Structure 1
């Protein structure tokens, strides 16, 4: 659990500042579960430059509660939480100073989104909250007010969590959480999970990830893990102490994250992924008459396939469908082995490429349309799919035919240049597994939007 906060102060000498406004969002890693926002009477003067910056003046604070009147609420909402702030060293120091004036100690673990951003979003021109949120397309209202800046930090922290592929932030938080509730039953674990699409992480009592999976219904899938009687499930059940998850909205995002994070984290109960999760590919060659032939063959390392398939049956189904859709020749696609015209030619469904009646130029035009639709080689494009929330979309970025990564963006913010796109995506490895996952998903989901950039 996290307490994401922002504090506005009077300014002045070090350790003599007073709080003028505080906003705290209690965040469970997915959504805000509690909120506290209040002006605070600092009982001291506000520096003129602070008044100009924040718009908060002494007149506004006359009837505001003094710090001792809100201290109990601050303790309650931050209890058992890691404090998160943009430049947390400052906010945490101010809070501790105020509690010290009351004669109380205030100790919490902290996370700084400035430091996290430098690690997870490198090469930014500036890491100030204003400039960083602009670069990432995060909408901000009430800049330099506690509520506006705290909410912007919540949105920034969500991006940082999704970019933390090695899950170090989650592991640290889980380890802290597990020590408080070592006697959790499996039913308690299941009851706390949602029925949503995403990636899930099963942790042991040290917070380490022992299994990673993806599902369209996380609650249902974890229930299967914790009730199944297979040998592997029983081993997981003995060690499982908690489950965390990451909502993805899109099944494609979940598939790609699962593949990448298993390779990175190497959980003990995930079998090492095979180098390929597919067996057959679609290949092409041009004959002496200039016609492009398509054929299905087992994937091999020498040639790069146009697209790949999980098994021979799905490859055959694909070929039969596209022959009909693109009016291709059965002989030139490997369906017919006739020495003369193909069967479709005899019933006037083939224009005669198999007997040189249709020109290679006209025939190849349709073949190339098929290839372009089922391969993103040499293309700069984005794939837009469902987001985690109604006002959000997921995006997958492909540059010059290479999968670069994925991310999420607010519907109110248009992705209009590659610089913004590169800032919001989580960089990921491009390999045959990711190519297969993307291509097969696009074949199965015709309504997914693709956009050339």
Structure 2
């Protein structure tokens, strides 16, 4: 039996978002046999861009059950079935994490209809669900709603079953298609000793040289990912050893990865070596006097408010600031609508987009959005998760660049903050650390940031 799953969520990352709708369509290998569908209360507001995409708003979820309330029922329905989804890692990671939140273990066998479609229906220009269904003559009802997408995926899966002449599906089920194959010079003992914790890891060649540096929330799981399916970096024959440094803090892992790549220049980090600042957030006044924000490619001579290495990073940063300062997503280029933005319809926007809020009041909030841009001489500490329950990581930033870091006891008194600074390990200033801080700073509360005197 197969369980074809689709979910809608409050955002794209399972670590910081929740499921707001889940649908499961059951398939016995011959036909669809039934379905299950639930709206779920995530315990937080639904972002406007999610409402714009799915039509699901916070009001629709007020009386809906939480995931915890349906966990037993859902787990029983999924028990013993193969978990199938289009881009299965996305749906599975969310569902697995929701089960973990209620202390339930969920480890099904999994199949990805994207990967299977590439093998069984080769040569297509796109393997997105919409384009696949269009090419296969599958009608999608209620696109970007869980049941509509799950039902379409189930029909697609049925076609995959019928067209599978090379037994790709059964091979994937039995052995994940031999998706995890350790490099020939890495023993199973070396692999088993890798930690399931956050940090930076290093791949070494036969002479001990570092040939790749990576960052991971779970180092052991990330190691597996390098050799699952068609890896983009063919490291297998060159890896002879793996080492790592735990950080506890995800931000510190990202920062350390950037600094180590700059220091070591590993041969297989070429794409990260040339990581460039190419996107920026800009501000301007429109003809009605409203301060607007816009994401654009950086051009010479025009300095952005903040800069990023990708459009996605800039989009995420601006989206977070819009929510934090109650700004209009339409005036910031996040939503494209003819009339009022979606957020106004649900009371989250004050109406700057439709003449309900004057520009003076709106601009007062807009002016504060980038008021915390890093200033000359500015120094501050960020306290973050440590490597154990007894410590915390402390990161010193100067003008937005990482200047030093270390670990201190959780019971440490910050009344004598210079003593903390003196305990930290100084590091060389690296431009990428400023970019990483820009995209991460909004995740920290004021309790975790300690401002220091300039100098």
Rg larger in structure: 1
Q: TM-score, normalised by structure 2?
A: 0.48
Q: TM-score, normalised by structure 1?
A: 0.48
